[in-house]
Amino acid sequence: MRLAVLPGDDIGPEITEAALTVLDAVDRAFSLGLEYDVHEVGMKAHKRCGTTLPDAALRAVREVDGIVLGPAGMTAYPPASDGGINIPGTIRKQLDLYANVRPARARRGVPNARAGLDCLIVRENTEGFYADRNLYQGHGEFMPTPDVAMSIRLITAKSSRRIAERAFLAAASRRKDVTVVGKRHVLRITDGLFMREVQTAAALHPGIKVREIDIDAMAAELYTRPQAFDVILTTNMFGDIFSNLANALAGSLGLAAALNVGDHHAAANAGHGSAPDIAGKGIANPSGIILSSALLLDWLGQRHGKKAYQQAARAIEQAIDVVLSDSKTTTCDLGGTLSTSAFAACVSKAITTCAHTS
Ligand code: ATP
């Protein structure tokens, strides 16, 4: 299988290299036959060729079996008209990666993890409040006068229905419980349409429990009763905010994993940003992008009927659990002293040890 690797900005190249170290370990242990097609994107690409997302990278992501995408430091990008292209946004839109699947779990030994947390946020990924990319043409934000600014929130029946369907399918192989999060009494029309489509999908999955909670109530509930939530289904921006909260409750934003997935393509893309404040120091926690790569392997395994890929995904999950359970083998966000590359080496070693003993 061929993977396109786009390392991104700031900590992106450091954590992506760590993910490749771990992918190499599972490749060897499970004979996966992985090949990589690495493309420079972000500000380095912009300096070289005037765009943060060169055509060659965009062509590659269409042609490969899967994508590993490092975080992009978009706040430092020039305007799109000067080549500052939103990398994840463009890839999501062009490949129709309509679902953003973000797990968060309390792992043994991780300091400050909220006991009982084990949820999967299923976030709509193509519309909602993302005014910079939610229209076919033009920008969903505008200023009719210098003192009036407005944003458009886009919700469609088609996107709501297909993300709901993803959530119910995910719940079927978990604890069969979906919590839908919105603010229906305020966003009556848009959340009303979203909830209507969720109810239609729910009717096709009678074995799955569904409840609706307002976003503000849910923020408190996830903190106070994390064990009460299995699959959390929500619209684009609420899902983005919520997954940061969920991963902070799991112990660190550095643990945030995410898979952007559509009907034909998938991109592993850590759930955190490019962390410019710690870039270049070699101290970032690469768990998020490593766990995202595991989600990608699992997706490839399901799609192509390759059990070894699913075994490799489970092996990465288990190895991360083993390594994080020992405070001596964590990065500084979790109170440890390991560098990004040393952490990846520990995860790889745990994979190799498990593969030899199982
Ligand atoms: P974006 O808007 O691009 O999603 P953000 O505003 O959520 O980004 P991040 O770049 O995710 O911000 O950083 C938020 C904080 O979390 C920073 O203090 C950063 O150093 C920390 N952080 C993010 N990722 C990691 C990581 N992998 N390891 C350690 N700390 C991280």
Let me know if 217 is exposed, middle or buried by CB neighbors in 10 A (0-12, 13-18, 19+): exposed
Q: Is the CB of 243 under 6 A from ligand 1?
A: no
CA 317–ligand 1 middle distance (angstroms): 21
The CB of 283 under 6 Å from ligand 1? The reply is no
CA 135 – CA 152 distance, rounded (Å): 9
| pLDDT digits 0-9 by tens, 285-321 | 999 999 999 999 999 999 999 999 999 999 999 999 9
Ligand 1 centre to CA of 337 (Å) is 18
Strand positions, DSSP E, the chain: 2-6, 35-38, 66-69, 99-105, 118-124, 141-145, 148-151, 177-182, 209-214, 231-234, 259-261, 266-268
pLDDT > 90? residue 137? no
The closest of 98, 116, 119 to 108, measured between CA atoms, is 116
CA 217–ligand 1 middle distance (angstroms) = 25
**Cα-based torsion angle of the residue sequence 335, 14, 98, 180 in order, rounded to the nearest 10 degrees:** 0
Angle at 317 between CA 308 and CA 335, to 5 degrees: 155
**pLDDT tens digits, 165-185:** 999 999 999 999 999 999 999
Strand 231-234 with 118-124, pairing: parallel
Give residue 113's pLDDT. 97
Q: How far is the CA of 273 from the centre of ligand 1 (A)?
A: 5
Name the pLDDT band for 7 (thresholds 50, 70, 90): very high
pLDDT surpassing 90 at residue 136: no
| Closest residue CA from atom 19 of ligand 1 | 275
Is the pLDDT at 200 greater than 80? The verdict is yes
How many CB atoms are closer than 10 A to CB 198?
Answer: 25
How far is residue 88's CA from residue 3's CA, in Å, rounded to a whole number?
A: 16
Contact 164, 199 (CB under 8 A): no
For the chain, the average pLDDT equals 96
Place of tokens 């997935």: 261
What average pLDDT does range 60-70 have in this prediction? 98
The Cα–Cα gap between 109 and 326 comes to: 7
Tokens of 139: 């920008």
CA-nearest residue for atom 6, ligand 1, is 273
